[in-house]
Structure 1
Amino acid sequence: MRRWVSLWFPYWPAEHWRRPSDGGPPDRNRPLALIACQRIGQAQGGLRVVAVDALAAAEGIVPGLPIADARALLPSLQVRESDPRADAGALERLARWCGRYTPIVAKDGPDGLLLDITGCAHLFGGEAALLAGLTQRLQGFRLTVRAALADTPASAWAWSHAGPGGVLPEESSRTALAPLPVTGLRLPDALTSELMRMGLRRIGDLLDLPRAPLAARFGEALTRRLDLLLGQEAEPVSPLHPAAPFRRHLACAEPIATRADIDRGLEHLLELLLGDLDRAGQGLRRCAFTVFIVDGGVQRIEIGTARPSRDRRHLLRLFAEKLERIDPGFGIEAMLLEAPLTEVLPPAQAALHGVQQEAEETALAQLVDRLQQRLGRQAVVRLEPVESHIPERAVTVMPVFAPPGPQGSSGWMAEQPRPVRLLPSPEPIEVTAMLPDEPPLTFRWRKVLHRVALTEGPERIAPEWWQDRAGTRLRDYYWVEDREGRRYWLFREGAYGGDRAPRWYMHGLF
């Protein structure tokens, strides 16, 4: 049976600013309120309180109060402008921190999180210990939190929002939730008010009623919420990040802050992860190392390989180039190593005559990995020929070790020399020629005049008749060398006597 944790932060918009990782207000011991320009009913728009922290709520400051009235009630009140985008971003950062407990974490409204802890509780001493430790850590971040653990997301939400919170034993939701008010069903306000007006004030008042009359009287929204509550219908949950198929977690007995300790932790996790991959016949293609800081911060680095790998030494070398980015701050309390992308890598015995070739291929793959690590994955690629005579459409970019296309290496026009550097797009130039159809004598490119010493050509290139594109005309290409010995690839687009006058372009450099 799956088990879910619901976390509710009733004062989240104001209280998350007190977290060290979010940079709290100057005085964290004074009440805080968030304000925004808001109209309520027929009243004129003005600055009103939209959220408060627990300290302000205890002093009688409530959302909807004009800021002038709030200051009159509590002169020491701190005020900050509301920023819903920052609130959502901070909640997402907290969700990433909760990844130290489970790989499946989802946002649950603007002030809550949902955690699927199925199969994770034993790592933290059981469900009660996990929930108590999680609650204690969140309270240490100066957050007011209500946490509940139950069989379904809906029952966990009801137990945290309308109940006392805590752990509900398996298959006890129906009995435990019956005394709770109907607000625990998470229904629209209008429907909740109608139920209470009819005398149906508790969840238990609805559980034993026939579903058909309920649906006819109040709509299917009510019966669906009851089914979700009891687990009779699955509730879709969208985690912030998909769970990696292979992952290893390490909790530190004491916070660590030195590079040597981080290296030892990474080596230990990598050894365990590679063992899992070996047993599954998989090779690592992408790997993520995440550290959880004591103050609630989360830092993450990633590496990738061009081919599936289980080479421990090579992977540690790739990580070593990025570990300098990790700032342990007040100390690292947990580490997580994940392999979100793997490929089949079965054990293989190479023939004696193929050992040298296999070693060369492995060395090339490791070189590509290091280059991509430093320059970026998009900076180290392979060009693949495409069936097109138009130069800028004749190649495409592919990963280095991607399987060759249908043309393969035979698709290159080896008999026709092409420039080493092809410009991203042809650039207009000014050309002077003895006769209109003859090669250029001089040309001006990027405001510099070049005098031609040698010329070869033309090579005529026409667009493909089966995919002719509007605006593409015949091109006559010339290999040109100026008097300084620099060689260029020019072309004349169009022919004299046509609808438009020909134009000259620079397309490449030899």
Structure 2
Amino acid sequence: MPVAKAEALISGLTILDAEPEADAIALEKLAIWCLKRYTPSVSTDPPNGLVLDVDGAAHLYGGEQSLITDAISRLADLGITAYAALADSWGAAHALVRFGGQSSIIVPRHETPNAILKLPIAALRLPRDTIEDLVLLGIDTIGELAAKPRAPLAHRFGQSLWRRVDQACGRLPEPIEPVDAPELIRVQRIFAEPIGAPETLEKYTRRLVDQMCDRLEDAGLGAKRLDLHYVRVDNRIETTFIAMAKPVRDKKRLARLLCDKIETVDPGFGIEKMTLVAACAEPLVPRQQVASFSEAPRPDIEELYDTIDNRYGPGRLYRAVSVATDIPERAVKRLPPTSMETGSRRNAGYKRPERLIRPELIQALAVMPDHPPKAFTWRKDRYHVVAANGPERVKGEWWQTDAEGGKVRDYFILEVDSGERFWVFRAGDGQHDGTGSLNWYLHGLFR
């Protein structure tokens, strides 16, 4: 609408000049950010979209929904409101994210055609005049268009109309053109004749790794992530990638990790180009190993960690260290295996069970306020207490949340007549209101 009319409708309206060129530059920077974080195949979808090929990458984030949730939350931290749709085809994802009416949509495999039938034809990325003519003909949705005979409409609007429909339904391929960060180190190999045999792919993968390590050594860098793009003769790009815990430029190690991924590559009718990109590289300074007669050398676990991490996904291998807190469920945190943090010794003298469980409500018979239970019922089983130790009082950490201010837990170690020992607590001190609900919970098991 005209600016004058907008100002009349909305008081205090802020008006800014459009900057399409600056927006395009910002969108490409955002694509490079996604490339380095989520998947090696990212393309811009102007004026306000990104296309991510997450096939083979979603499991590294715990699944497709977890990847989408992580991306939306991180973009929100950057001040960007994002919507996401995941489908079998670029066209369907483009349509659903803009016309689906939800912040995130995941379409099950092979359900894409049914998911887009009710969307307007504007979702097909057709020219504006084509959309207007189709609406005049009484065709408003993709389902109505798909039900029409093809020949008359193709004669009037051209083959591009049905090509868009088939691309959205996944019947025709629509490869994306991945963005390239100019600062990234890359090496490539173009073949005069397409290749496809696994042993041939492995041979040229090792040669590309040798070239990449030479380039990294000249730059004084080590790779923390390598992306390998296989460009097929049908213009589809198959991509594999590996991530490392620390910067690496060991040729044998990197080649082995990449070659383990070859079995996931579909060469189709042949690969005509391979490109290896160092998506994430950091300075790597060689360190002199100092020999010690009194201590054994520290074992190199990084290679094992990288193997497990790339095979099963990040977070499957970790170290547990103690945290300086009285709250049992916060007393341990996970760290990467390569972390040098040793943890706190503050809780070393406390008697803690070998196994913690989520606090489960139990029915307990006890004298208030400081006596342990004489008997309790847990998971429909009745236990009689023959010995007890406690109470150990734990107060809520008021600096964490307001709800913990003034809250109290009284913990007891209970031994029952069968010889088992349990760790239970009462919420509240038994004397003052507001310290807890006075309910009893089982929090751990001693073995």
For 1:438, the equivalent position in structure 2 comes to 371
1:115-172 Cα deviation digits (max 9, x unpaired): xxxxxxxxxxxxxxxxxxxxxxxxxxxxxxxxxxxxxxxxxxxxxxxxxxxxxxxxxx
Correspondence 1:413 to 2:413:
no
Aligned equivalents of 1:252, 1:384: Cα separation in 2: 51
Correspondence 1:301 to 2:240:
yes
Deviation at 1:453, TM superposition (A): 4.8
Tell me if the contact between 1:384 and 1:395 (Cα under 8 Å) persists in the aligned partners. yes
Deviation at 1:41, TM superposition (A): 11
Aligned equivalents of 2:307, 2:410: Cα separation in 1: 42
For 1:267, the equivalent position in structure 2 comes to 206
Deviation at 1:355, TM superposition (A): 12
Deviation at 1:308, TM superposition (A): 1.8
Tell me if the contact between 2:205 and 2:259 (Cα under 8 Å) persists in the aligned partners. no
- TM-aligned CA distance change 1:304 to 1:45, over 3 Å: same
Deviation at 1:328, TM superposition (A): 1.7
Among 190, 196, 217, the residue aligned to 1:278: 217
State the one-letter code of the partner of 2:356.
L
Deviation at 1:243, TM superposition (A): 5.0
Larger displacement relative to structure 2 (42-51 or 494-503): 42-51
Deviation at 1:47, TM superposition (A): 5.0
Q: Secondary structure at the match of 1:290?
A: strand
Structure 2 residues without counterparts, runs of 5 or longer: 1-89, 92-109, 111-118, 123-130
Tell me if the contact between 1:431 and 1:443 (Cα under 8 Å) persists in the aligned partners. yes
State the one-letter code of the partner of 2:261.
K
State the one-letter code of the partner of 2:426.
R
- TM-aligned CA distance change 1:335 to 1:41, over 3 Å: closer
Tell me if the contact between 1:460 and 1:475 (Cα under 8 Å) persists in the aligned partners. yes
Deviation at 1:293, TM superposition (A): 1.9
Tell me if the contact between 2:398 and 2:404 (Cα under 8 Å) persists in the aligned partners. no
Q: Secondary structure at the match of 1:275?
A: helix
Tell me if the contact between 1:443 and 1:451 (Cα under 8 Å) persists in the aligned partners. yes
Aligned equivalents of 2:331, 2:265: Cα separation in 1: 43
Aligned equivalents of 1:304, 1:387: Cα separation in 2: 31
- TM-aligned CA distance change 1:458 to 1:269, over 3 Å: same
- TM-aligned CA distance change 1:471 to 1:269, over 3 Å: same
1:86-116 Cα deviation digits (max 9, x unpaired): 69x965x3314xxxxxx53xxxxxxxxxxxx
- TM-aligned CA distance change 1:385 to 1:291, over 3 Å: same
For 2:335, the equivalent position in structure 1 comes to 398
Q: Secondary structure at the match of 2:266?
A: coil
Tell me if the contact between 1:39 and 1:45 (Cα under 8 Å) persists in the aligned partners. no
For 2:228, the equivalent position in structure 1 comes to 289
Mapping for residues 182-261 of structure 1, pairs under 5 Å: 242=181, 245-261=184-200
- TM-aligned CA distance change 1:61 to 1:45, over 3 Å: closer
For 2:44, the equivalent position in structure 1 comes to none
For 1:502, the equivalent position in structure 2 comes to 438
1:475-509 Cα deviation digits (max 9, x unpaired): 11223344555443221110224336411122233
Correspondence 1:374 to 2:340:
no
Deviation at 1:395, TM superposition (A): 3.7
State the one-letter code of the partner of 2:411.
Y
- TM-aligned CA distance change 1:283 to 1:451, over 3 Å: farther
TM superposition score normalised by structure 1 = 0.52
Among 373, 395, 402, the residue aligned to 1:462: 395
State the one-letter code of the partner of 2:337.
V
For 1:46, the equivalent position in structure 2 comes to 139
For 1:331, the equivalent position in structure 2 comes to 270
Tell me if the contact between 2:396 and 2:404 (Cα under 8 Å) persists in the aligned partners. no
Aligned equivalents of 2:141, 2:396: Cα separation in 1: 66
Aligned equivalents of 2:153, 2:387: Cα separation in 1: 88
Tell me if the contact between 1:248 and 1:337 (Cα under 8 Å) persists in the aligned partners. yes
For 2:177, the equivalent position in structure 1 comes to 95
Aligned equivalents of 1:464, 1:84: Cα separation in 2: 55
Q: Secondary structure at the match of 1:299?
A: strand
Aligned equivalents of 1:412, 1:257: Cα separation in 2: 58
Aligned equivalents of 1:396, 1:277: Cα separation in 2: 34
Correspondence 1:428 to 2:361:
yes
State the one-letter code of the partner of 2:223.
L
For 2:286, the equivalent position in structure 1 comes to 347
For 2:256, the equivalent position in structure 1 comes to 317
Mapping for residues 12-91 of structure 1, pairs under 5 Å: 36=121, 45-47=138-140, 60-62=155-157, 82=165
Pairs aligned (count): 314
Deviation at 1:438, TM superposition (A): 2.3
State the one-letter code of the partner of 2:326.
H
Aligned equivalents of 1:453, 1:290: Cα separation in 2: 66
- TM-aligned CA distance change 1:83 to 1:331, over 3 Å: closer
Aligned equivalents of 2:296, 2:184: Cα separation in 1: 32
Tell me if the contact between 2:247 and 2:283 (Cα under 8 Å) persists in the aligned partners. yes
Correspondence 1:489 to 2:420:
no
- TM-aligned CA distance change 1:463 to 1:315, over 3 Å: same
Deviation at 1:394, TM superposition (A): 3.3
Aligned equivalents of 1:355, 1:309: Cα separation in 2: 29
State the one-letter code of the partner of 2:393.
R
Aligned equivalents of 1:392, 1:251: Cα separation in 2: 55
- TM-aligned CA distance change 1:441 to 1:296, over 3 Å: farther
Tell me if the contact between 1:291 and 1:334 (Cα under 8 Å) persists in the aligned partners. yes
Q: Secondary structure at the match of 2:186?
A: strand
Deviation at 1:383, TM superposition (A): 3.5
Among 353, 364, 388, the residue aligned to 2:325: 388
For 1:474, the equivalent position in structure 2 comes to 408
Deviation at 1:447, TM superposition (A): 3.8
Deviation at 1:84, TM superposition (A): 8.8
Aligned equivalents of 2:294, 2:230: Cα separation in 1: 39
- TM-aligned CA distance change 1:495 to 1:340, over 3 Å: same
Give percent identity, aligned residues only: 32
Tell me if the contact between 2:186 and 2:278 (Cα under 8 Å) persists in the aligned partners. yes
- TM-aligned CA distance change 1:491 to 1:374, over 3 Å: farther
Q: Secondary structure at the match of 2:403?
A: coil
Tell me if the contact between 2:388 and 2:413 (Cα under 8 Å) persists in the aligned partners. yes
